[in-house]
């Protein structure tokens, strides 16, 4: 099967890039399943029910979040009613929403999606390795589901790579979000799991990880209350990854980056 996953959609420019370029991706790659990280979609901080609806109408099948999941308080009630909107699996047990789910792709395949959040330089959540182990303990790739994707939303590249190696052979793909910079290490690991340390963001790269430079620079230079960060408003680059899996085993057969529009060099896999 074919799957596309877009990195953190940041603010209006990121939403515009998704709306503008997704039709081309759908036409040329014809993915069976489409995902996007939406935790920065609402002016850089969180996501709203309205934006979720817009993403679903565009053809996004599952939206992931991360440490900014709760920035828009209206999402707290909505996430309990919308299984296609995920928050990290290793939040405490009583946290609203779900950290994983099984979804039906356009070709009828069963796709398991889970998100975990790292702990190095991040909030002190439950152990992400134990959380994903518990979620997968009664599941088997190629049997209980046809494809499995795990998002590791984390700051440290080492922690993301550790998760990739830990899940190697157990899921179709492990990819990172949160850093907003696309990494150049798309690969298939030794036991058949596709991996990329960070998908990058769907946002304006003439910025500081998607935010206007002046406020971001001020935070580094002054140890005092600073101007609130706000999204850069230039033309965004749509960043993500394209995955193909074996129909029998569910293991990866191909992974390639996607970059369309904006500042970064364009890359769109051949179908």
| Domain that includes residue 142, residue range | 2-260
Domain count for the chain: 1
In a domain, 271, yes or no: no
In a domain, 109, yes or no: yes
pLDDT digits (tens, 9 = 90+) for 207-258: 999 899 888 888 888 877 667 889 989 999 999 999 999 999 999 999 999 9
Phi-psi region of 168 (alpha: psi -120 to 50; beta: other; left: phi over 0): beta
In a domain, 269, yes or no: no
> What pLDDT was estimated at residue 223?
75
* Three-state DSSP class for residue 156: coil
Residue of 21, 43, 68, 153 with catalytic role: 68
Residue 146 to residues 100, 113, 241, 247: CA-CA distances in angstroms? 15, 11, 19, 7
pTM of the model: 0.96
> What pLDDT was estimated at residue 225?
67
Q: Which helix (H) or strand (E) holds 240?
A: strand 238-245
In a domain, 266, yes or no: no
* Three-state DSSP class for residue 260: strand
In a domain, 268, yes or no: no
In a domain, 165, yes or no: yes
In a domain, 178, yes or no: yes
In a domain, 171, yes or no: yes
68 is catalytic: yes
CA distance 238 to 13: 10
* Three-state DSSP class for residue 145: strand
13 burial type by CB count under 10 A (0-12 exposed, 13-18 middle, 19+ buried): buried
Return the CATH number at 30.
3.60.21.10
> What pLDDT was estimated at residue 242?
98
In the chain (271 residues long), the average pLDDT of successive 10-residue segments reads 98 97 98 98 96 98 96 94 97 95 97 97 95 95 97 98 98 98 98 98 95 87 79 95 98 98 96 77
> What pLDDT was estimated at residue 167?
98
């Amino acid at each position: 099967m074919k799957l596309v996953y877009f990195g953190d959609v940041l603010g209006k420019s990121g939403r515009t890039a998704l709306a503008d370029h997704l039709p081309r991706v759908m036409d040329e790659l014809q993915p069976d399943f489409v995902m996007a990280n939406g935790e920065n979609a609402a002016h850089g901080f969180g996501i709203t029910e309205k934006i979720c609806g817009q993403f679903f109408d565009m053809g996004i099948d599952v939206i992931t979040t991360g440490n900014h999941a709760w920035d828009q308080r209206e999402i707290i009630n909505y996430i309990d009613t919308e299984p296609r909107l995920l928050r990290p699996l290793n939040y405490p047990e009583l946290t609203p929403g779900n950290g994983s789910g099984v979804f039906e792709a356009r070709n009828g395949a069963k796709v398991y999606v889970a998100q975990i959040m790292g702990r190095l330089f991040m909030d002190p959540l439950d152990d992400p390795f134990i959380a994903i182990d518990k979620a997968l303990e009664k599941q088997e790739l190629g049997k209980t589901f046809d494809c499995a994707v795990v998002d590791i939303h984390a700051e440290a590249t080492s922690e993301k790579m550790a998760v990739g190696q830990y899940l190697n052979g157990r899921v179709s793909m492990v990819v990172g979000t949160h850093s907003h910079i696309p990494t150049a290490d798309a690969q298939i690991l030794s036991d058949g799991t596709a991996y990329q340390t960070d998908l990058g963001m769907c946002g304006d790269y003439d910025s500081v990880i998607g935010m206007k430079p002046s406020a971001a620079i001020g935070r580094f230079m002054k140890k005092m209350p600073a101007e609130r960060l706000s999204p850069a408003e230039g033309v965004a680059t749509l960043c993500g990854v394209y995955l193909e899996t074996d129909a029998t085993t569910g293991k990866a057969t191909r992974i390639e980056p996607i970059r369309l529009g904006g500042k970064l060099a364009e890359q769109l896999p051949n179908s």
